[in-house]
Structures are given as C-alpha cells and as structure tokens.
Structure 1
Amino acid sequence: MTDQRKGSDAEPTTHFGFKNVPESQKAEKVAEVFHSVAAKYDLMNDLLSGGMHRLWKRFAIELSGVRSGNRVLDIAGGTGDLTKKFSHLVGPTGQVVLADINESMLKVGRDRLLDLGVAGNVEFVQADAEKLPFPDNHFDCVTIAFGLRNVTHKEDALRSMLRVLKPGGRLLVLEFSKPTNALMSKAYDAYSFAFMPLMGKLITNDSESYRYLAESIRMHPNQETLKSMMVEAGFDRVTYHNMTAGIVALHRGIKP
C-alpha cells in the first residue's frame, strides 16, 4: 500500500523494500531488479527455497480448479512455471496468457516454454497488473505468484483482476507472508538478510537485488490484511492457506 503524503507539490511515496520512494519511481526500480535477476531466476528460486517453490506452486494449481477449455491469466508469470502446468490442464480448446510487466522476465519465460514445446494455447503479453489490457469477464482463473508484493497500488491490481474474471472465476495469490511463530520468524529473518544477499552476490554478482526481495517480503501485507484487501476489492469467499509455517500463503477469492 502507498504512503499518501500530502503537500503542496509533494508526490505520494511508496515503499521500495525498506526505502520510501516517489510512486512514479517504484515501477522502474522494480524493473531494474528483475532485469538483473531474470537470467538466473529459476536457479536462484531452487537454491533459495530448497526447491520448495515447486510444491507451493503445485498446491496453487490444485486449488485453481482449472480444467479443459478454461481461459487462464498468469500475472507476473515470469519464467512460466504455472503457465506450463495450466497449458496442459486447459488443453487445445483452452488458453493461457502469461503476462509480466518486465520485458526481460517475459523473454526468459517465452524462450523457456518454447524450448519445452509449450505452444499453441499460450500467449505472452507485457502487461501492468494495475491496468490489465483484457476485456471484462474474460478469464476463468487469474493467478499471481510471488508478484503482488512488487505492485505499487495493490488495491488497483486486485480490482483489475476482479474485472477481467468471469462471474464465479477464481483469483489465486501465492505470496511470501508472515511466519506463524516467533522462532520461525527469527530464523527466517536471519536467512533472508544474510544468506539471500550472499547467494545473490556469489551467483549473480548482485546482492542488492536480493536484499530488495527480502525487504519487499517484510513490507508485504500479512495474511489477514491481504484477505481484507481482497474482500474490499469485491471478492467473495476469500480464504488463505499457510504453507511452510506461514512463510508462504495462498489466498483464494471468487468473483461474485
């Protein structure tokens, strides 16, 4: 959420990690981070999560309810993990749109999926989650995995996702969240602020991008706050499931 500071000529600010920056600068700064990490994104995901991100994504797919003939939007789809699975589920009569605001991530995802032979029912679109360029009532399911925390105006993005969903359609938000016990929280802090930047430095020669990613997780709304934001945006039957002691949460909401 943004910090709406008022002043005669002051621009509202928002967080970029632990820093406050003008709202107009956040998207560019986030883009720089993901341009930097795109080439090694999959490798770093496996290393930093111990492969757990694959299990978290599998659970999201299981709860998505996606089936043959559905139309699915994978926002912040990055290197295409979810899109690959959804492509098989929807089959030749369905469609999956992999959308990402970052050109470098979109290229990595497109190249990877084409190399894997995933084509025909997949479209790649560079798009801003806050202003999705799709018709109203268009998708059966919308997902955003590990992307919402990087969005400047999360409320606008949630309303945009609601708009493009068909009535009865599902939104799934898979995101890092708040650990459910103090001991885990302390261990996770130590891991995030020491190990993650170190691995970023060793493997990508970029510790600052991984420091931002750790900070952005801490600034993201907790489980109950995000649930309330989804309800406020207009979603019904909003629930969430904690995974790995709350390090990750999967929120699910239905369009009325």
Structure 2
Amino acid sequence: MKGDENILDFGCGGGAASKHIAKALSDSGNLVCIDTSAFWLEKAKKRMNGFSNVEFICERIENADLPDNHFDSVFIHFVLHDIDEKDRQEILNSLAGKLKKNGLIYIREPTKHDHGMSPVEIVEHMKKAGLAELSGMHGEYFRWPHYTGIFRK
C-alpha cells in the first residue's frame, strides 16, 4: 500500500481492522467503512476518532451510494461466512463492481465446519464475480483454520 488509495472496509464492525488501514493511509488516501449495524458503526466511529479521511456508511453494499470502479482495494475480514449463503454471490458481485480495474480484494474467513465456509466456496464465489486468485493460504500455518486470500479484478 502506498497510502494514497481509496479503500473499502466491507463489514467493518467495530473498526479494529479499519484503524490499522486508516493509519497506513496518507492524507490523500480515503477509507470507507461500511456495515449494516448502526451499533458497530458507532463503535468504529469512536475508535477512529481523529481520522479525517474516513467515511462511515450504514447500508447494505448492494444499496449503498458508492461509485463503481472507484476503490483500489476492498477488505473483507471475518464477514462473508456470516452472510446468508443465498446473498453471498450478489454481495461479492457488488464489491467487485466497486473495484477499479486491477483492484484487489483481501479476504480472511474462518473455515471451520461449524463456523465458517470452505476455501473452495470462497474461491468459487470470487471467480464468479470476475476475480482471479493471486494468493491463498488455507490455514496450514495458523493455529486455527481459516482462509486468507488476495483476488484481483
């Protein structure tokens, strides 16, 4: 990251990851934190107090007034598995549409059978959204199973 990018943090929750992203941005970079929970967005706003280049949106991505082909990167951190299976593809299609050409989606998801989704499912959804897997780690180097991947538009 150079610092001047437009970044979307999808399902930002309380902003724990968002704060790290915002710290890496310069004054010319922008971060949009989107979540459907007003409760968690308020927590994120408090956590991110003092960052002038951060915007908060309480909306579903499919309905949000965000420009297409705008973001350099989208971050998805432990969110997709909590979305109803029937909605996942539409959401990923929307996120892919928000990315600039060659933009990146960074994703980290749990892969436990009782809480998570399979790496195969994640990759299939991304490919259907027109994204190519650049890298993916399937939990071999971590204490508990999860998938970490990078996809390019």
Q: Could you tell me which of 177, 180, 183 is aligned with 2:111?
A: 177
The aligned residue for residue 239 of structure 1 is: 135
CA deviation string 1:52-73 (max 9, x = no partner): xxxxxxxxxxxxxx32210000
- Is 1:105 the counterpart of 2:1? The answer is no
Residue 74 of structure 2: aligned partner = 142
- Are residues 1:96 and 2:31 paired? yes
For the pair shown, which has the larger CA radius of gyration, 1 or 2? 1
Aligned-partner Cα distance in 2 for 1:129–1:248: 24
Query: What fraction of aligned residue pairs are identical, expressed as a percent?
Result: 25
Deviates more, 1:246-255 or 1:69-78: 246-255
Shift of 1:246: 5.6
SS state of the match for residue 104, structure 2?
Answer: strand
Give per-residue Cα distances to partners, 1:3-28, cap 9 Å, x unaligned: xxxxxxxxxxxxxxxxxxxxxxxxxx
- Is 2:6 the partner of 1:74? no
Q: Structure 1 residues 106, 88: closer, same or farther in 2, change over 3 A?
A: same
SS across alignment from 2:48: helix
Structure-2 separation of matches of 1:246 and 1:232: 27
Distance in 2 (alpha carbons) for counterparts of 1:83 and 1:67: 16
TM-score normalized by the length of structure 2: 0.88
Please give the secondary structure, in 2, of the residue aligned with 1:129: coil
Q: CA deviation at 1:231?
A: 0.5
What SS does the corresponding residue of 2:91 show, helix, strand or coil?
helix
Distance 1:133 1:81 in 2: 24
Q: Distance in 1 between matches of 2:72 and 2:41?
A: 22
CA distance 1:131–1:111, shift in 2 (3 Å): same
Does the 8 Å contact 2:109/2:117 carry over to 1?
A: no
- What's the counterpart of residue 156 of structure 1? 90
Q: Is the 1:132–1:160 contact (alpha carbons within 8 Å) kept by the matching residues of 2?
A: no
Q: CA deviation at 1:251?
A: 2.2
Q: CA deviation at 1:171?
A: 0.6
Q: Higher strand fraction: Structure 1 or Structure 2?
A: 2
User: Greater helix percent: which structure?
Assistant: 1
Q: Do the aligned partners of 2:12 and 2:35 also contact (CA within 8 Å) in 1?
A: yes
| Count of residue pairs brought into register by the alignment | 149
TM-score, normalised with respect to structure 1:
0.54
Match of 2:146 among 223, 234, 248: 248
* CA deviation string 1:122-143 (max 9, x = no partner): 1111121344431110100001
Secondary structure of the residue aligned to 2:136 is strand
Q: List gaps (5 residues or longer) in structure 2.
A: none
- Structure 2 distance, partners of 1:246, 1:234, is 29
RMSD over aligned CA atoms reads 1.8
Q: How far apart are 1:239 and its partner, in Å?
A: 3.3
Is the alpha carbon distance of 1:102 and 1:123 closer, same or farther for their aligned partners in structure 2, counting shifts above 3 Å?
same
Moved segments of 4+, more than 6 Å: none
Q: Any conservation in 1 of the 2:19–2:47 contact (CA below 8 Å)?
A: no
- The equivalent of 2:118 in structure 1 is 222
The answer to whether the Cα contact below 8 Å between 2:14 and 2:40 also exists between their aligned partners in 1 is yes
Deviation at 1:223, TM superposition (A): 0.6
Measure the CA separation in 1 of the matches of 2:63 and 2:146. Answer: 26
Deviation at 1:173, TM superposition (A): 1.5
For the 8 Å contact 1:227–1:238, the answer to whether it is kept is no
Please tell me whether the aligned partners of residues 62 and 94 of structure 2 are also in contact (alpha carbons under 8 angstroms). yes
> How far off is 1:150 after superposition?
1.9
Quick one: distance in 2 between partners of 1:79 and 1:89? 18
Instruction: Give per-residue Cα distances to partners, 1:38-64, cap 9 Å, x unaligned.
Output: xxxxxxxxxxxxxxxxxxxxxxxxxxx
